[in-house]
A and B are shown apart, each in its own frame.
Chain A
Amino acid sequence: MTFRDEVAEHAQTVDDILLRADDREPDRDLLDALFRAVHSIKGGCGTFGFKRLGEFAHVLEELLDAVRSRELRLDLEVTDIVLRGNELVRGLLAAECDEGSVDPAEVQRVEAAIAAVLARRTVPAADAPSPEHRWLISITVADPARRESVIESLRAAFETLGFLELIDPNDADAWRAELRTTRSDHELRDLFGFVGSPDDQFLVTPVPAPDAGFGFFDDAPGAPPAAANPPVFRNADADVVSSEASVAQPKAVTSSTIRVGVEKVDHLVNLVGELVIAQSVLTRAAEAVSGPARDALETAVSEISRHTRDLREGVMSIRMVPLGTVFGRFRRVCRELEERLGKRIALRISGEETEMDKGMVERLVDPLTHVLRNALDHGVESPEEREAKGKSPVAAVRLAASHQGGEVVIEVSDDGRGLDRDAILARARERGLSVSESPSDEDVWALIFEPGFSTANAVTDVSGRGVGMDVVRRNVAELGGRVELRSAPGAGTTVRIRLPLTLAILDGLAVRIAEEVYIIPLTAIVESLVPAAGSRLRIGTGEVLAFRGDYVPVIPLRDRFSDGTAEPSDEVICVVVESGNRRAALEVDALEAQLQVVVKSLEANYRAVAGMAGATVLGNGRVALILDIPGLLGTIA
């Protein structure tokens, strides 16, 4: 953990708090946390000699101190200044590390803005005690089959009462959350009474007020007499509703975290990759052994295989980060657009705890931003238009993530006007895209992913979703995922992005082309087939294959990859692959096996090779190249 990471983390905290503070008056704790984050940045700068950043953080800190002491309200203007200031903190940090520069004029502008708002500080009114409570809620559902439904309905109910924050989404035993609300603990318990069964456990305890700034643990060595202690959370305070008094103790918080540099984790991932390869070599070798040693060897090998698999899963899970780390910024995108477009939007985010490979999460930000912008810009109507249609003036936009099988599914949906079928068809014809006679809705929606579909002056009536959707599809395809779209006129649109969990391991089909084995990523494959006689047509210098009522170009990989010495095989197999909306048939000699491979970078180990996405080592110890399907398809004129 470097100081740089630390500053980045504090800056993220500032963003998170401000974006959270959106809809309600932030309480003291939040304002304190805001101040602390900037204070920590400033403190560290002194130690590390980041002079410019330190000076700026100091100014920002002064502003937040005024906010914290209620001399200034955290209104839109102040929020905006702090957000801009926070961006500058990031910029200045990069500049201190010689990785960028900052517009000095912006620094001056923000500093001037801070000085201006500080000048109109008022003497704080007596700090009225906030009527808001902070409750620590812990729910244990006795019957696992009911767990999800009980918790989901309670979660939804709690969210309407105030601000709900999950404490440890990974805790399998109890669902724990902190709720800030004006409701009493009795009201919460009544609510639970509707949903829970007598066997379930529901605990509501007050969150200790950290205002005192310090505290002593009860009966800890050296602690002063308990009577004078500031309030401390104790199990004994817990108000318990449970049919079994004996199991009523809330679970002790034992989960803990350590911070590790990404490069260390990546090193581990690499080592495990090597181990996986060595293990498959070993498995192959063991198969060749005969005689008395064979049984013992086989047992040992299967043992190693199992542990290697577990180890690989364990190590990969370290790289997983919750999507919530990037979802936060979408609140900001939403807020900005809301203001600029004069629309009213309620953004609901769910599944922030869904985990994905860190590298992928970062690369998802752009496409997701794009989809969200499109939804807000073109999908959602103006408040007046919505009211005229009998809808709520506030549009509901949902950003939801979840695990489904081995995939992560992210959905962006709105309850806006939906896609306009006729407008899209008209637009497509105008742009000269081929459209079938009576296209299904699916065919029509697919048109907006066409590169030629959108232009900067796309009519808004076309609900403008064409803007850059081809880029979104390409970005997602590069991550091994795909985009689906559903829409109903007047009812809204849902864009669904499906992605693999990680990029470091890939499900692939091993194919043989001219004596060499290559890997085709499984996600890119539409179908593998032996072309029927007459299904291949020669057109000009190339060939096409009749496939599902269409013609797809054939890429003769055998010719391309062979040095001419390999015997042509009797039977040619075509693997039809897809990327974005392009398809092609790859000509191969044989299908070898479907397998999981550890992806190795060619660039890092050799050099970038056109048409190859990477390499892997097979069970027999040989290197196999992984085909870059988007790249190969791009070579077709």
Chain B
Amino acid sequence: MESTSPSTITILAVDDSASIRQMVSLTTTGAGHRCITASNGAEALALAQNTSIDLVLTDQNMPVMDGLTLVRSLRAIPRFSGIPILVLTTETGEEMRARGRSAGATGWLTKPFDPATLLAVIDRVTARRVA
């Protein structure tokens, strides 16, 4: 693990929107975490091959490889089988959640979200790791 303390984690933020990537990056590094970003699923998958990651936040609609495909691909990698993966979604519908769930996502985060919500999610994830 690259994490130096239980409450510092490495986050992989995947979104085709640069502003979202920047926002996630600023918020998480500001809270003392490490953040790496990718602009689509394929890029994220390549990054994930040789990086240790504690939490993945991925957009759903992206070019090249969409979020749910990324979730499925990551879950196929043994190292990622238990890592929290949250799908960022603008759709709050049951359907989207059902699809996220069946792809193997851990949960969802509704877009747009504010920094406080993002940090709340991270708190919950780290709480699990501390516990």
Listed in ascending order, the chain A residues whose CB lies under 8 Å from chain B are 29, 36, 39-40, 43-44, 46-47, 136, 167, 210, 212-217, 220-225, 228, 233, 252-256
* Cα distance A228–B92 in the bound complex, in angstroms: 20
CB-CB contacts below 8 Å: B78-125 with A: 81-86, 90, 92, 94-95, 97-101, 104-114, 117, 120-121, 124-125
A217 touching B95, Cβ below 8 Å: no
Given A43-B19, A255-B95; A213-B109 close (CB under 8 Å): yes
Point out the residue from A29, A167, A256 that lies within 8 Å of B99, measured CB to CB: A256
Point out the residue from A40, A43, A214, A217 that lies within 8 Å of B121, measured CB to CB: A214
Point out the residue from A46, A167, A223 that lies within 8 Å of B19, measured CB to CB: A46
* Cα distance A214–B55 in the bound complex, in angstroms: 14
* Cα distance A210–B83 in the bound complex, in angstroms: 23
Indicate whether B17 reaches chain A with its CB closer than 8 angstroms. Answer: yes
Known: A213-B114, A253-B95. 16 other contacts (CB 8 A): A36-B90, A40-B111, A47-B17, A213-B110, A214-B86, A214-B108, A214-B110, A214-B120, A214-B121, A220-B106, A223-B106, A224-B128, A233-B94, A253-B94, A254-B98, A255-B95
Indicate whether B75 reaches chain A with its CB closer than 8 angstroms. Answer: yes
A223 touching B90, Cβ below 8 Å: no
Question: What A residues does B106 contact at CB under 8 A?
Answer: 216-217, 220-223
B112 touching A220, Cβ below 8 Å: no
CB distance from A289 to the nearest CB of B (A): 49
CB distance from B113 to the nearest CB of A (A): 5
Indicate whether B64 reaches chain A with its CB closer than 8 angstroms. Answer: no
User: Beta-carbon contacts of B63-85 to A below 8 Å, as 1s and 0s?
Assistant: 00000000000010000011111
* Cα distance A581–B84 in the bound complex, in angstroms: 68
Indicate whether B31 reaches chain A with its CB closer than 8 angstroms. Answer: no
Question: What A residues does B127 contact at CB under 8 A?
Answer: 224, 228
Listed in ascending order, the chain B residues whose CB lies under 8 Å from chain A are 17-20, 75, 81-86, 90, 92, 94-95, 97-101, 104-114, 117, 120-121, 124-125, 127-128, 131
Question: What B residues does A44 contact at CB under 8 A?
Answer: 17
* Cα distance A224–B131 in the bound complex, in angstroms: 9
Question: What A residues does B109 contact at CB under 8 A?
Answer: 213-214
Among A39, A167, A215: residue with most chain B CB under 10 A: A215
Please, which residue of chain B has its CB at the minimum distance from the CB of A136? B94
Question: What B residues does A224 contact at CB under 8 A?
Answer: 84, 124-125, 127-128
Question: What B residues does A43 contact at CB under 8 A?
Answer: 17, 19-20, 112
The 8 A-B pairs of least Cβ separation, nearest first, read A222-B84, A216-B107, A224-B128, A214-B109, A222-B106, A213-B117, A210-B92, A253-B98
CB distance from A437 to the nearest CB of B (A): 62
Question: What B residues does A220 contact at CB under 8 A?
Answer: 101, 104-107
* Cα distance A212–B120 in the bound complex, in angstroms: 10
Please, which residue of chain B has its CB at the minimum distance from the CB of A211? B110
Please, which residue of chain B has its CB at the minimum distance from the CB of A178? B94
B110 touching A210, Cβ below 8 Å: yes
Give 26 CB contacts A-B under 8 Å. Answer: A36-B90, A39-B112, A40-B111, A43-B17, A43-B19, A43-B112, A44-B17, A47-B18, A210-B110, A213-B109, A213-B113, A214-B108, A214-B117, A215-B107, A216-B84, A216-B124, A217-B100, A220-B105, A221-B82, A222-B83, A222-B84, A222-B128, A224-B127, A228-B124, A253-B94, A253-B98
Point out the residue from A212, A217, A233, A255 that lies within 8 Å of B105, measured CB to CB: A217
* Cα distance A255–B95 in the bound complex, in angstroms: 7
